[in-house]
Structure 1
């Protein structure tokens, strides 16, 4: 049975510096494979940390600040929602994404909320 996975793309200063043309070619090949296999649901890149906000509610007060802090070495660069038979299969597929070379990829199984359990 197929499961859904949230894939988080992270920058990583130890990753390869891919030329834009190579990055684009790898990404297009990855997307074509994913679409052909019915794996891809949605995904998108995100703006940099200079555009981000952090939101928290503490003691009934909403705190909205610029974020994250500039000393972060990694940045959340985008996401995908994919379908795979296992997390290992999802990892094999994501190893073909250009971020696997230039950054880091986190794969998280989607789960139901406790009150939505069958």
Structure 2
């Protein structure tokens, strides 16, 4: 099964980079095992652009869609046998210990 991991944090990455744990060991481990298919760190929310189309007009807004202190700072795609294995992989992610990781299966 494939799962999307949304790695979330409530710190501002552009100002609190030293508070973000190093995830390179986790990445290397799960790339080697084949559980991690793809992933990356995201640019800070200040670099986001929200796109909406209303009445045929493209509307752009600077910044993220949701106004919240907690932001998505990265993502990973997992390919594992089941939810239990996905949870075990996510529980080892350093950000699960200082932030939050949302895990969602791909739709059928």
Give TM-score scaled by structure 1 length.
0.76
In structure 2, what is the equivalent of residue 116 of structure 1?
A: none
Aligned pairs (5 A) from 1:50-89: 50-68=46-64, 71-89=67-85
In structure 2, what is the equivalent of residue 41 of structure 1?
A: 37
Count matched residues: 104
Is 1:102 the counterpart of 2:98 in the alignment?
A: yes
Q: Does the 8 Å contact 1:18/1:102 carry over to 2?
A: no
Q: Does the 8 Å contact 1:87/1:107 carry over to 2?
A: no
- Unaligned runs of 5+ residues in structure 2 are none
Shift of the 73–34 alpha-carbon distance from structure 1 to 2, 3 Å rule, reads same
Secondary structure at the aligned position of 1:91 is classed as: helix
Q: Does the 8 Å contact 2:50/2:65 carry over to 1?
A: no
* 1:18 CA displacement: 9.4
Shift of the 74–63 alpha-carbon distance from structure 1 to 2, 3 Å rule, reads same
- Unaligned runs of 5+ residues in structure 1 are 113-118
Distance 1:37 1:105 in 2: 20
In structure 1, what is the equivalent of residue 89 of structure 2?
A: 93
Secondary structure at the aligned position of 1:107 is classed as: strand
Secondary structure at the aligned position of 2:21 is classed as: helix
